[in-house]
Amino acid sequence: MNPVRLAVVSSGLSVPSSTRLLADRLAEAAGRRLAQAGRGVEVETVELRELAVDIAGNLVTGFPAPTLRRAVEAVTRADALIAVTPVFSASYSGLFKSFFDVLDRDALVGKPVLAAATGGTARHSLALEYALRPLFAHLRAAVTPTAVFAAPEDWGSAGDSRTAALAGRIGRAAAELAALAAAPRPEPAADEEVVPFDRQLEALRTGPR
């Protein structure tokens, strides 16, 4: 069985970044779950910081420069996607959104997606639910029920009686993603090269001839 192609998109800006740290933890956990299910995994990580100028260029010109094109192709052909953004001004970062703006609009259709975010305070955690989840729903991706938010204190605390610790939430989300990614997905119907012209004409026919 082919290995699962897992794309990881991280839009953290600092180096090192806690956004990338979270992305790596999620990828590692998802890979472990898939391995337990007997599936290999190929991880391709896309650091949007390195593509920031190309992404802006694509917005202006309408086409991706070669480096960005390779990243777009990696995400488009992936079997599953982990997408992680810092929360800026109560939502995903502009760089994160711009990357998804330059994808083909069908690039994520049916694709299992795990959305995650980091932020300066746990009070931003619902940005995952009101910003990222609708974005991926609009792109018709299959978003995991669990989205993962990491606030600063999460990196140094155990859970409490009501909340699992970060590692527990990562494990749950990764298991959900692995289950979606391992499930056989219907092959996309082979695209007809073009709608034959007589059918285009037929669609415009009015009244009896």
Partner 1 sequence: MQFGIFTVGDVTPDPTSARTPTEHERIKAMVAIALKAEEVGLDVFATGEHHNPPFVPSSPTTMLGYIAARTERLILSTSTTLITTNDPVKIAEDYAMLQHLADGRVDLMMGRGNTGPVYPWFGKDIRDGIPLAVENYALLRRLWQEDVVDWEGKFRTPLQGFTSTPRPLDGVAPFVWHGSIRSPEIAEQAAFYGDGFFANNIFWPKDHFRRLIDLYRRRFAHHGHGTPEQAVVGLGGQAFIRRNSQDAVREFRPYFDNAPVYGHGPSLEEFTEQTPLTVGSPQEVIEKTLEFRESFGHYQRQLFLMDHAGLPLKTVLEQLDLLGEEVVPVLRKEFAVGRPAEVPAGPTHAARAARGAGEQR
Work out whether 190 is an interface residue with partner 1 (CB under 8 A).
no
Give the closest residue to 114 by CA, choosing from 87, 89, 139, 132: 132
Sign of the C-alpha dihedral computed for residues 124, 125, 131 and 132 taken in this order: positive
Residue list 46-65, contact with partner 1 (CB under 8 A): 56-57, 59-63, 65
User: Residue 191 CB, nearest distance to partner 1 (Å)?
Assistant: 10
Q: How many residues does the chain have?
A: 209
Q: Which range, of 18-26, 76-84, 86-94, 188-196, touches partner 1 by CB under 8 A?
A: 188-196
Work out whether 193 is an interface residue with partner 1 (CB under 8 A).
yes
- In whole angstroms, give the CA distance from residue 180 to residue 171: 14
Quickly tell me which residue has 């909340």 as its tokens: 163
Work out whether 157 is an interface residue with partner 1 (CB under 8 A).
no
Do residues 7 and 82 lie in contact, with contact meaning Cβ atoms separated by under 8 Å?
A: yes
User: Residue 67 CB, nearest distance to partner 1 (Å)?
Assistant: 11
- Helix and strand numbers (H, E) in the chain are 8, 7
User: Residue 200 CB, nearest distance to partner 1 (Å)?
Assistant: 5
User: Residue 197 CB, nearest distance to partner 1 (Å)?
Assistant: 4
Assign 3-state DSSP to the chain and report helix, strand, coil percentages, each to 5. Answer: 45, 20, 35
User: Residue 61 CB, nearest distance to partner 1 (Å)?
Assistant: 5
Pick 63 or 155: Cβ nearer partner 1: 63
Q: Which range, of 9-17, 102-110, 171-179, 196-204, touches partner 1 by CB under 8 A?
A: 196-204
Pick 183 or 204: Cβ nearer partner 1: 204
The number of beta carbons lying within 10 Å of the beta carbon of residue 174 is: 25
Give the closest residue to 83 by CA, choosing from 163, 165, 23: 23
User: Residue 63 CB, nearest distance to partner 1 (Å)?
Assistant: 5
Work out whether 43 is an interface residue with partner 1 (CB under 8 A).
no
Six-digit token string for 61: 């010109």
Binding site for partner 1 (CB under 8 A): 56-57, 59-63, 65-66, 193-198, 200-201, 203-204, 206-207
